[in-house]
A = this chain, B = another copy of it.
Amino acid sequence: MSSFRSSDDMHDRCVHCIGRVDSICNAIEDCDLAVLASESSKMTVSGGRSFIDEGSPAHDFFVVTGGRAKLFTLLPDGRRQVTGFAEGGDFLGLAASDSYAFSAEALGGVSLCRFPHASMQRLTARFPNLEHRLREEASRELALMQARMTLLGRKTARERLATFLIERCQGPHRAAPVLKQPIEIDLPMPRTDIADYLGLTIETVSRTFSLFRREKLISVRGITHITLLDPERISAIADGME
């Protein structure tokens, strides 16, 4: 942190940040943004680099301010479970007691805002509303995980991939997707990560994509670019309705 910056600069750093709108920082008033900025620091992580290590002492929280990251856990023999993907506005670090319960790795360049636990403690002491906001965030995540467990424990490969596609459709601010017409989405993560996210192998993911393509449920252009041709039916498949 450059201590010679004016309080106005600090304020500016937060006021135009995506976290200001989408993330926990919206628990704080405009006039207090300088305090928020002074308790946090910006950082960037380049693709493939990890910035949270499962099992290491949890010292910081993070807000993703740009780019994407994947979150995952490992078994001793290398089996991997991707537990989530994070993008602009997402808050990371709640899933930890003393040490982090997951690792996080940049998916092609992320920018982050880092809040040391001590800073967060000062912030929550000063802005009680923030603590409530953190709990809210944890509750939202907890509800999502409930659905993820059902996916991993009980859904078929077909249903898992359909669920994944529908998940990727939600607009900004996590709005529910409109399923009436075709939807274009990007899949910025490699197939391997999709497989590890869905508890499948890369081959099964690939085959199931091909299947969906042959059934005219989706069309694929250039690996990362996918159009859901019949979102409603995909959504039905996701819910195990066919």
Contacts and interface: CB of A to CB of B under 8 A. Distances in A.
Number of copies of chain A assembled together: 2
Interface in A123-147: 124, 128, 131-132, 134-135, 138-147
A101 B147 CA distance: 8
A150 to B, nearest CB: 4
> Which interface class (under 10, 10 to 19, 20 to 34, 35 or more) fits A?
35 or more
A147 B73 contact: yes
Interface SS of chain A: helix
Interface string A159-187: 00000000000000000000000000000
Given A94-B138, A143-B95, A152 B155 contact: no
11 contacts: A73-B147, A75-B155, A79-B240, A80-B154, A81-B149, A94-B139, A95-B139, A97-B140, A101-B146, A134-B135, A149-B152
Interface of A: 73, 75-77, 79-81, 83, 94-97, 101-102, 124, 128, 131-132, 134-135, 138-150, 152-155, 196, 198-199, 239-241
